[in-house]
Amino acid sequence: MNKNTKVAIVTGASRGIGASVAEALAVDGYITALTARSKDALTQLASRTKSSGAKAENVVVYPLDVQDHDAVQAMVADVHSKFGRIDLLFNNAGTGMIGTVDVSIEDFDKTLAINLRGAFSFLKTIVPIMKAQSSGTIINVASRAGKVGFAEYGVYGASKFALVGFSESLYHELSPLGIKVTALCPSWVDTDMAENSGLTKEEMISTADLVTTVRWLLSLSPAAVVKDLIIECRTSIN
């Protein structure tokens, strides 16, 4: 491994935003550690990245559930041991949920366990590594629903509002240490999670838009920091 090669961890990498960003990072030369629950989906993505031009040795697969903190710790430790650094956490794993007070306690707990506790698990494990490096970038994938409350999305919004707030605290704590933290808050993105949006494919944000956004964030100078970033669908602004 070239000592200048950067290392990224992408959670929720098996599909949607995570898969598109992971593939782009691998093609851009990052050593990219892919994690999601489905080993088969991750393996297929790893094959696609190689077909797109990524080096085979630059893509590693870690099937796990973000709710399992021990598994998260083991994965991060293995990546750090093998490659000696972690430059980017694309903290993307999440689940959708329709409902507010009408959801079950079990579904409420599961949504927060994945969308908030899962994100926290990676942050808790990776932030100390980035502090020791005095460098790194964290992109927490929240949602426009983490900035604006919507009817019938109370539980999902609660999980994303919490992630945005946590991300903002980290932004203030870590920016002076040379570690960038951004909460990425897109509206409806053209993925399977947007099947209830009521928008057409052409009216939604594409995963390619998110790839462009991530590449832009990573291209900024060390002096430029972005606390949060909302991306709207032009036809659904309210």
Q: Among all residues, which ones are annotated catalytic?
A: 156
Give the Cα separation of 173 and 191 in Å (integer): 33
List residues bridging with 86 in a β-sheet: none
Cβ atoms within 10 Å of 34's Cβ, excluding its own: 28
